[in-house]
Structure 1
Amino acid sequence: MGSKNVQLVLDAKAILGEGPCWNEDQKALYWVDILGEKFCRFYPETGQNESFLIGEYVGAVVCAGNDEVVLATQSGFQSYHMGQRTLTPLVDPEAHLPANRFNDGKCDGQGRFWAGTMEIIEKEAAGSLYVLETDYSYRKVYEGVGVSNGIAWSLDEKEMYYIDSMKKLVLAFDFDAEKGEISRSRTLIDFAGEQGFPDGMTIDEEGMLWIAHWDGWQVSRWDPRSGIKLESIEVPAAKATSCIFGGEGLDTLYITTARKGLETDQAGNQPHAGGIFAVKPGVKGTKTHAFGASYTTKKKE
């Protein structure tokens, strides 16, 4: 495969572009530059990209109402009001672990925010996976994580998929959507034979997983039932970090990338590393869920 036409849509030159999520109402792509200590809101139709500097590592962003987001940062979960540019700390599950930071995260269909941590220097498997409930209480649901990364749920919400980049594994859990609980962890895909490390992940409307390869120059599509790789799309940056479906009818796959560790002399063969790319893979995606807004309760006013 790999012949699909991947286009640069934003030459962001992010140090560590990550964690994209699509806001259907705003037709906007939210994403973070973790090491740039900011999150951004990008409008593909106009090419406009707004930056919101937070002043500490921002691992993930999820929408929470019209002008608000919830962030998973180095110092825990925080709420941010974009109009007022105000940051409000919510809860820090790892206040006692200053050497850790939050990394990737995502909301489930009930509006809970799942996000995991990692050691900043990436030596020990000192991270954990947490759930921020819509009332701002939290639970630790899994531990012994190296680099907590991509999360996705099966279309019937009976399984959750989860990536530990350090261990090069994509795990599957049984998922109880009502209680927001996971059980029976098992290895779904072992990336040992793949190029690079599994990083961010999303799921399409056919229930197939799309995984970004850190240091692998690609995003790949997998069947979670068989664990088989179905196809791969080449990305003109070595460090593809994550992907999410957006655009008209969710037919566009947006891909975030990183420049981290790229020496100036290496930038020649990937001048747009750290940019956001887009491709129409021929399959549609699933919607991004917002924090606190479940299927059942959120009605268009």
Structure 2
Amino acid sequence: MAHPKIEAVVKERHRMAECPVWEEKAGQLLFVDINAGTVCRWSPLSGDVQTVGLGDRVGCVALHGQMGSYVVASGTRLGLLDWDSAQVQWLAWLDRDKPHNRFNDGKVDPAGRFVAGTMPEASAPGVWQPGQGSLYTLYADHLVVRQLDRLGISNGLDWSLDHRTFYHVDSLAYAVQAYDYHLQTGSVENPRLLYQLPQAQGMPDGLCVDATGMLWVACIDGGSIIRLDPQTGTRLCTLELPVSRVTSCCFGGPDYSELYVTSAADGLSREQLQWEPQAGHVFKVTGLGVRGLASRPFAG
């Protein structure tokens, strides 16, 4: 790997910044602060950050075909956020039988469907009830189908370049899984372990695929992002960040050569926060020598 340059570009202490998405048409970065319940937009040109509060924890955000409209997963609901009015048209309410669940990470698949997973809230710091999470698909007609259940913490997700493989993180299992993906239907099957993280490496969180088909996986509490070869299941390199709670990543910028990385301040002690003045900031990494892919808009 080339010698990358890492710089904090959004220098605000977010509680749990997550799910970065590059919006090419506007040349800006979307992300959420889960614990603050906000969706955020950052402009590299002005340096300004705009926020919309949703009044509940918001797990992820994705592009929508209409400018100024975004897909959001907040609490256990899926909806369309109109940015200018800050109003959400709620489309579905899931996991009603699990009052302690919430949506976590999500992304639009190659056919324009929105795929997002749920997880239980921690019963104590670092303690989650196993088997409570599910993975859902929101179709263009707003039908919702549960694709997977009995997950620990449904997290980072993306697809192979040929769209035939679905990559998915179950954080509680410290595992990156691969599934066969049926693009026509959106169904997933045939799970197999792609990479098992040792606990000392940190818990796997968000992920993205680059233009060569390699995976970039954020390791929360590991202070790093690892690059994996999904064909061999091997770790190619490790990108060390100046913060420990690294949450997710996406490629962006004019030519998708910039890797944007989100981080969290929640979960750190007062002493740890003094050691990590950039905890909760959003970082830009350049000089990696690879490019990413454009995010897809929801087709509904």
Name the TM tier (shorter chain).
over 0.9
Whichever residue aligns with residue 12 of structure 2, its letter is A
Return the offset for 1:3.
5.0
How high is the TM-score relative to the length of structure 1? Answer: 0.95
Alignment of 1:84-163 (within 5 A): 84-121=85-122, 122-163=128-169
**1:49 match:** 49
Secondary structure at the counterpart of residue 172 of structure 2: coil
Residues of 2 paired with 1:194 and 1:157: CA distance?
A: 32
Is 2:224 the partner of 1:223? Answer: no
Residues of 1 paired with 2:3 and 2:240: CA distance?
A: 7
Of 253-262 and 71-80, more deviation after overlay is shown by 71-80
Aligned-pair identity (%): 35
Question: Deviations along 1:78-129, whole A, 9 cap, x unmatched?
Answer: 2110111112211012122111000000001111010000001222220100
Question: Deviations along 1:221-251, whole A, 9 cap, x unmatched?
Answer: 1100001111111111101000000001100
Residues of 1 paired with 2:119 and 2:101: CA distance?
A: 5
Whichever residue aligns with residue 190 of structure 1, its letter is Q
- Does the CA-based 8 Å contact 2:43-2:49 persist in structure 1? yes
**1:279 match:** 285
Is 2:178 the partner of 1:172? Answer: yes
- Does the CA-based 8 Å contact 2:155-2:168 persist in structure 1? yes
**1:252 match:** 258
Q: How many residues align?
A: 293
Return the offset for 1:4.
2.1
Secondary structure at the counterpart of residue 13 of structure 2: coil
Is 2:21 the partner of 1:15? Answer: no
Q: CA RMSD in A?
A: 1.3
Residues of 2 paired with 1:120 and 1:80: CA distance?
A: 24
Whichever residue aligns with residue 33 of structure 1, its letter is D
How high is the TM-score relative to the length of structure 2? Answer: 0.95
Question: Deviations along 1:52-100, whole A, 9 cap, x unmatched?
Answer: 1111010000111201111111131021101111122110121221110
Is 2:210 the partner of 1:210? Answer: no
Residues of 1 paired with 2:248 and 2:116: CA distance?
A: 14
Is 2:240 the partner of 1:234? Answer: yes
Return the offset for 1:13.
0.7
Return the offset for 1:192.
2.1
Residues of 1 paired with 2:93 and 2:262: CA distance?
A: 27
Unaligned runs of 5+ in 2: 123-127
